[in-house]
């Protein structure tokens, strides 16, 4: 039964999940040269390949609701941040593990500038887009303290992978805009996990070879 649940989680991850990374300042500035309508952005960005429909639905002209939730790792050394952005019936979710140096630098910059920046590479095209969302936190100093205190978890990035898998389920984050149901979502893991991280999170299994000896 456990393996069946892991298979379902892996299938959901493959459908709604995306692996991302943090784009450094020089690369971001270079990429923005080809963006015609450039919104205000921070110095670093979460970068990920996403479906075209997500970019279309994350329309800056439409109301955008955001939510920030933190989760401690089991060993209490590290902290995970789940960011949710909703426009209409679509949500973009992003998971960051605070001890990761790139994620830590990204969030520190985002807090200083006041913008959470996404750089989108649109799947199956050569197109791209960028979105800068105001970081409206009730207690920004709390996040700064968590960033300063974060230490690498004994489980590596497996906690972030597990949270991403959970966040691929539509019901994991409640609807943020009254009158809408969440029908479409993409969850971005803003890290590049190792095979070990995926295995520890239950989303990777070594292939089994059926070898016949004669």
Angle between helix 140-149 and helix 101-113 axes, rounded to 10 deg: 160
pTM: 0.86
Measured CA to CA, the distance from residue 46 to residue 24 in angstroms comes to: 9
Q: pLDDT tens per residue, the chain (214 residues)?
A: 334 334 345 555 667 899 999 999 999 999 998 877 788 999 999 999 999 999 888 877 778 999 999 999 999 999 999 999 999 999 999 999 999 999 999 999 999 999 999 999 999 888 888 999 999 898 999 999 999 999 999 999 999 999 999 999 999 999 999 988 898 999 999 988 777 777 776 654 444 444 444 4
In terms of phi and psi (left: phi > 0; alpha: psi -120 to 50; beta: otherwise), the region of 153 is beta
Q: Model confidence over 100-156: pLDDT tens digits?
A: 999 999 999 999 999 999 999 999 888 888 999 999 898 999 999 999 999 999 999
Rounded to whole angstroms, the Cα distance separating 73 from 68 reads 16
Residues across the chain: 214
Dihedral angle of Cα 160, 164, 166, 172, to the nearest 10 degrees: 110
């Amino acid at each position: 039964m456990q393996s069946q649940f892991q298979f379902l989680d892996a299938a959901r991850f493959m459908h709604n999940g995306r692996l991302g990374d943090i784009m450094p300042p020089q690369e971001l500035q270079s990429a923005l040269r080809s963006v015609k309508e450039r919104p205000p952005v921070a110095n670093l960005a979460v970068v990920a390949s996403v479906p075209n429909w997500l970019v279309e639905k994350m329309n800056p002209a439409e109301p955008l609701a955001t939510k920030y939730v933190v989760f401690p790792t089991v060993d209490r050394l590290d902290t995970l941040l789940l960011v949710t952005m909703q426009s209409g019936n679509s949500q973009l979710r992003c998971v960051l593990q605070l001890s990761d140096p790139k994620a830590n630098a990204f969030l520190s910059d985002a807090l200083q500038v006041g913008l959470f920046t996404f750089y989108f590479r649109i799947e199956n095209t050569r197109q791209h887009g960028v979105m800068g969302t105001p970081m409206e936190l009730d207690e920004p100093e709390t996040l700064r303290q968590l960033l300063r205190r974060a230490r690498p978890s004994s489980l590596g990035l497996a906690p972030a992978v597990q949270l991403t898998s959970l966040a691929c389920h539509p019901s994991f984050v409640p609807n943020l805009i009254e009158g809408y149901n969440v029908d479409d979502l993409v969850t971005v893991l803003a890290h590049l996990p190792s095979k070990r991280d995926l295995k520890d999170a239950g989303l990777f299994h070594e292939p089994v070879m059926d070898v016949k000896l004669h």
